[in-house]
Chains A and B, each alone.
Chain A
Amino acid sequence: MSATSVRAAAAATPQEPRARNSTWRKLLRNRNVVVGSVLILLLVLTAAVAPWITPMDPLRQNIWESYTAPQGFFVDGAFNTQYVLGADELGRDLLSRLIMGTRVSLLVALIATAISLAGGVILGAIAGYVGGLVDNVIMRVMDVLLALPGILLAIAIVATFGPSIVNVMLAIAVVRIPAMARVVRSEVLALREEEFVEASRALGISPMRILFRHILLNAWAPALVIATLGMGTAIVAEASLSFLGLGTQPPQISWGRMLSVGREAIRSAPHVTLYPGLAITFTVLGFSLLGDGLRDVFDRRLADT
């Protein structure tokens, strides 16, 4: 997502308890935040209890049952657990795989985002706070990375280091570091001149302490917004890598892989792509809504209007 559009500033420092309450109220009043959070909570919940709620063994193959059509929850008036959403190309239960896939897809997104967040915050903070040559070098390297189309960079990383779930996460993370670093840097640049930082400096507090205790603490809001939006992008990126055959590896079950393998039968067995596709779409939608909502709430300019 764009770095430019996030020009939010954190709520004023140090916060009064009442101000904090009103932030919560704003969050709960924001439709995007609420809908997005509900979607994501559902997913996280599914991921947490996944192994206990799969109706069938998600790895159990029965090739003779390949591409079985969805049977629904009720067959002949009785509750059904066999192939509720149909079977995939190897006769595995689609619903069970979808449920287990929540874990891998969320994990990939979460770790990739965490890495890019850490990398972006560290690089951006150092660049913004130290300034000068260091700033120049870091940001020029970021510019170079930004000049390469993201998916291409990710392809190159995975092709070079070999496809594995770890390399997929790394590739997605590296692609997103520059945007993150830019946002954090501009926040730090703005905050560096604020009175409370000047005051801390005058008090002789060490620069590192100022940076981490005071400045970064106040730059978290835009970083959070970007990270939330990034979770969605990461899930789509994993699917794109899977499309090119460079995603997660079997027997790991990721939605991206289910979607990309299933596309072979998009006309004869559309259910095999429909459900993973919808799962991805709703998840990314959830993260996007939440991210947008958070920005609305934390963006002071908008809040004032």
Chain B
Amino acid sequence: MQKYRSWLAPVVLALTLLGLGTSLAQNDTLVIGTGAEITTLDPRIATDVPSFERIAVIMEPLVVFSRDLDLEPRLATSWEFAEDGSSLTFTLRDDVTFHDGSPFTSADVKHTFEWVLDPENGAQNRPLYEDIGSIDTPDEHTVVFNLDNLNSFLLNNIARMPIVPDGSGDDFGDNPVGTGPYMFDSLVRDDRLTVKAYENYWGGAPSIETLVFRPIPEDGTRLLAFEAGEIDVMQAQPVPAELPRIEEDERFVVDRSGGTGYTYVGMNVNSEPLNDVRVRQAISYLLPREAIVERIMNGIGQPGINMLSPEMAWFDSSTEGYSYDPERARELFAEAGVAEGTRIRLHTNENPVRMQLAEILEFELSQLGIELAVTIEEFGAFLERVQTTDDFDLFILGWSGQLDPDRAMIRQFTTDGSANYTKYSNPRVDELLNQGRLVDPTSQESLDLYFEAQAIVLEEAPYAYAFYTEEIALMHPYVGGWSVHPYGAATYQNAHLITKNQ
């Protein structure tokens, strides 16, 4: 027990003596504390990171993202696009068995994607794969995806879909079976998900017998449970305010990795006065990004520049983005004819950091005589407002899992984009982003297309970028063989390598 002084000290001491002899340490079980509960263990209908990160210990996709965000073989040993781009062929491993002992074959791959593509099944992820026209299985270890449209980034989407056994029905999520290092054992919703080591895992038997995922929604409680040693690994982001204290504490290990997302202020380009590009730029100049990252996020993440993260090959490193410059903002407001006393609305949800951002922007604008009416809405209502109505000016949201420029831009900034909440529209950007899908992602042409697109969008400022996220995990020093992954859903894809030596 650490040194402890408080008015409660006598109580604590008495209680401690009362419970002597109750101990919890176990080397064959690793307890992982997380923020949110899963919605389902069926990857075909899951949409959220908490579900996918836990599915990833039970099931595996054909290819996975490495920590450098390169594609690595997993259930597939190699893959190849046809010369004309009309098909994509995977060669599969031949030494893989599912937890029930049956061999993994091309039929399982075919089943997984066909189930997702069948509109009758209502799989939420269908749009990710709709460029796949049909699937052929020439032999047990070869799969051919015949493509209706060329999409250079389809591989990234395939990396998001773990394979389920052929014949899996609607109730697969109740008792999921996969090829991964751990077998599903039990799920008590909102309490714990237990998985057991799969001794015949093709990548080698896991060293820890049991993994337990515990969802703890309250940030403070989760951190305290970690400090008390009740959870071994805490992977959902810790409270920024507490991070410096944890980092200084020798009893804990803080593991960090650049993230794949960012938080931004979106602006409805149709609404007065945000339809004036100068007003949007002015707002971009009003975010004190350095101070936010330094003090609000306590060093988690980096000041936001644009919609691509600096680690991405397509990020134009000559871009500087908007600095914090209230004077420049004042000039721009004046040029645009925005009078003092103008009222702009801002909506966001009850996420602590977003609320703080809202308050910061409210204060900065008030210094320029502009009133920002902030509304913190419950998440469902907020999302509906932004996604389906035109009834908002500014909003604060974030993107995650932005692994390639297509994912990061085409839905957000093309005129008909499914996530174009700001109603931003520029024919040149549409053209560039659609063209980007058709060219080889490793070519100079691809870089040129996305360099031009990001420069235009940055200039026209439908978003003001606040900060890039960073993935952070806390663990006790006795946990080894594991580190946090920039792509949240892939955090536990190598769970069999984790060790515990307490």
Contacts and interface: CB of A to CB of B under 8 A. Distances in A.
Consider the complex of A and B and state whether they touch directly, i.e. have CB atoms less than 8 Å apart. yes
B242 to A, nearest CB: 5
B128 interface: no
Contacts of A265: 239, 241-242
B375 interface: yes
Contacts, number: 87
Interface string B225-242: 000000000000001111
Given A90-B360, A251-B359, A264-B241, A63 B350 contact: no
Main secondary structure of the interface of A (DSSP, over half): loop
Given A162-B375, A250-B358, A63 B288 contact: yes
A264 B375 contact: no
Given A163-B378, A251-B362, A264-B219, A66 B296 contact: yes
Interface in A113-170: 158-159, 162-164
Contact of B291 (A60, A64, A89): A64
Contacts of B62: none
B154 interface: no
Nearest to B240: A264
Given A162-B375, A163-B375, A244-B350, A266 B220 contact: yes
Contacts of A250: 355, 358-359, 362, 374, 376
B319 interface: no
A64 B296 CA distance: 9
B377 interface: yes
A14 to B, nearest CB: 52
A285 to B, nearest CB: 19
Contacts of B295: 63-64, 66, 91
A110 to B, nearest CB: 23
B349 interface: yes
Interface in A66-116: 66-67, 89-91
B451 interface: no
Interface size band for B: 20 to 34
Nearest to A264: B239
B245 interface: yes
A63 B374 contact: no
Given A59-B363, A64-B291, A66-B295, A251 B245 contact: no
B377 to A, nearest CB: 6
A263 B380 CA distance: 24
Contact of A268 (B244, B296, B362, B374): B244
B376 A163 contact: yes
A91 B296 CA distance: 10
Interface string B373-386: 01111101100000
B352 A264 contact: yes
Contacts of B239: 264-265
B356 interface: yes
Contacts of A158: 378
Interface string B344-368: 0000011010011011101100100
Contacts of B349: 245
Interface in B423-439: none
A63 B244 contact: no
Nearest to A245: B350
Interface residues of A, number: 29
B292 interface: yes
Main secondary structure of the interface of B (DSSP, over half): helix
A215 to B, nearest CB: 42
A277 to B, nearest CB: 14
B223 interface: yes
Nearest to A246: B378
A249 B376 contact: yes
Interface in B361-405: 362-363, 366, 374-378, 380-381
Contacts of B242: 264-265, 267-268
Interface string A235-270: 000000000111001110000000001011111110
Chain A CB within 10 Å — which of B219, B240, B375, B378 has the most? B378
Contacts of A268: 241-242, 244-245
B375 A164 contact: yes
B362 to A, nearest CB: 6
A61 interface: yes
Contact of A89 (B241, B376, B377, B378): B241
A66 B288 CA distance: 14
Contacts of B363: 59-61, 90, 251
A225 B309 CA distance: 60
A90 B366 CA distance: 15
Chain A CB within 10 Å — which of B242, B295, B381 has the most? B295
Contact of B296 (A63, A266, A269): A63
A90 B350 contact: no
A10 B352 CA distance: 49
Contact of A263 (B220, B245, B360): B220
B288 to A, nearest CB: 6
Nearest to B347: A162
B374 A251 contact: yes
A245 B380 CA distance: 12
Chain B CB within 10 Å — which of A63, A64, A158, A246 has the most? A63
Given A63-B292, A251-B366, 9 more contacts: A63-B288, A64-B295, A66-B295, A67-B241, A89-B241, A158-B378, A251-B362, A261-B356, A268-B242
Interface of B: 219-220, 223-224, 239-242, 244-245, 288, 291-292, 294-296, 349-350, 352, 355-356, 358-360, 362-363, 366, 374-378, 380-381
21 contacts: A59-B363, A63-B291, A63-B292, A64-B291, A89-B296, A90-B356, A90-B363, A159-B378, A159-B381, A163-B375, A163-B378, A245-B350, A250-B355, A250-B359, A261-B355, A261-B356, A263-B220, A264-B219, A265-B239, A267-B242, A267-B245
Question: Top 9 closest A-B pairs, CB basis?
Answer: A245-B350, A265-B241, A63-B291, A66-B295, A61-B363, A264-B239, A250-B359, A63-B295, A159-B378
